[in-house]
Copies of this chain bind each other. A is one copy, B any other.
Amino acid sequence: MKEGPDIAQIGALIGDPARANMLAALTGGRALTATELAGVGGITVQTASTHLAKLEAGGLLTQRKQGRHRYFTLADEAVARLIESMMGFAAGRGHLRHQPGPKEPALRKARICYDHLAGDYGVRMLDSLIASGSIDAVGDGLALTEKGEGDLKRIGINVGDLRSSRRPLCRSCLDWSERRAHLAGSLGKALLSSFLDKGWARRTAESRSILFSPEGDRQFLRLFPVDP
């Protein structure tokens, strides 16, 4: 009874709908202000403020004040992974909130998952990288091959730079909409960044969905084909 980590505390932190919505929104990777978060939580700023304080005390959030704003972000990638894994679990049990609204399809097609690409396109990209021999999949682990390193260089991603960070290069992340893995880790981040830099896609204002331009769409599908 008194053994092990206290799972109830963080469960309770995530267990409030307003807080859960805020956390989910922050899984989008960008920092949000208290007022914005109050919006996504459907509550007033006062209430949001107390919620945010609790989340911060619990170690799930960090804040950075900038002028008269306070920007909140998830404390680190581990929090993002926890949230995503809970989403995957909830989706599997049919605990859905979505009356399939207008934004839903876009979200399933391509969205941001902390800092990398998720949704149909995310899964497709990983499948394609594996099929082309750029990434080795062993069990549920992923590893970049030499061929992959060369291929990535050709589209402007220098893997050497990424290796210097302590963060793992490749990591598989379970996609809640597709129920299959997509690519996370510093490489996943670098790939998404490059798409955004190239103008192939852009992030939307308040949602987690990623919008591909017609041109970007073509380029993406050409670069990551799926075998027939």
Contacts and interface: CB of A to CB of B under 8 A. Distances in A.
A139 interface: yes
Contact of A171 (B2, B17, B58, B139): B139
A24 B4 contact: yes
B140 A97 contact: no
A138 to B, nearest CB: 4
Given A12-B16, A168-B140, A89 B97 contact: no
Contacts of A53: none
A98 B139 contact: no
Interface stretch (A77-85, A121-129, A150-158): A77-85
Contact of A3 (B11, B23, B85, B101): B101
Nearest to A170: B139
B9 A90 contact: yes
A176 interface: yes
Contact of A139 (B16, B94, B99, B143): B143
19 contacts: A4-B97, A5-B87, A5-B176, A6-B20, A6-B95, A7-B24, A8-B20, A10-B95, A11-B13, A11-B86, A15-B15, A58-B95, A59-B94, A78-B89, A136-B138, A138-B143, A139-B141, A139-B143, A139-B168
